[in-house]
Amino acid sequence: MDGASLRAGAVGAVSGVKNPISVARRVLERTSHVLLVGVGAEEFARQLSLLDDSIVVGYDPRTEQKKKRLDDAVRLLVDEGFSYQEHAGPRKTAETLIRLQLDGKLEPLQQRYRETLSSGTVSASSLDRHGNYAAGASTGGWTLTIPGRIGDSPLIGCGAYADNKAGCSSTAGVRGEENARLGGLTRMICDHMRTGHTAQDAVTIATSYAHKRIGLTLKRGTLIAIDGRGGVGVNGGHHADPIGVCYLREGAQRPIYPLESSTN
């Protein structure tokens, strides 16, 4: 999202596209839309790839680590009586996961799977020397969810928000459904900064509200923000490893890890 113009671009439910956030930027720059999903987003990426070498389609993201995670998910499904063959393919996968959802078994499986993983989402917020803000987020999605599910990363005001009149904010590792139910934490943070709160105060207020309203603790999630004075805010509930959050200022020799003092 571009804070100067409030223009934004996003894609969701795409596969075979390397660096979907690059396609999202083209949605912002080259269309009048904000969010493209599914077949339309994939065809948009395919046609862009014919003109722009930086847009890569037909990409296979399966690393050895991701294959292991998929194996873990398959084992959980087998425990529930589903074989790999039964849930192979998009339609069969959807049928299996919907049946589990309707039987009340899907969320416990998601929790068991999620307990051993950290978020695969990355987000960034920026302020340039001209006073322009920008923010973005990108994710590989969440395994063991019904195909067609859209999380918070591509939802403007949830995954990221930027406004030159307020600041910018982005998030990673927050469950998308909870973020959306709150109306978008990154927009909420920017609203607080617009009224004069510092980035840190705005993040603290938003996380406190999320906890009080729906019990969201953000133990595995991060909110970051930059205010109108260039101040940085981050919640302290991320992973124990402070390298999970860092920022750079012009002229800095190394990244600054704002959680180091609270974890060392």
**Residues belonging to the active site:** 121
Report d(CA 5, CA 185) in Å as an integer. Answer: 20
Report d(CA 28, CA 10) in Å as an integer. Answer: 8
Report d(CA 147, CA 139) in Å as an integer. Answer: 15
**SS3 of residue 218 by DSSP:** coil
Contacts of 246 (CB under 8 A, 6+ apart): 255, 256, 257, 258
Left, alpha or beta for 59 (phi > 0: left; psi -120 to 50: alpha)?
beta
**SS3 of residue 160 by DSSP:** strand
Residue 221's Cβ-count burial label (10 Å; 0-12, 13-18, 19+) is buried
Report d(CA 87, CA 78) in Å as an integer. Answer: 10
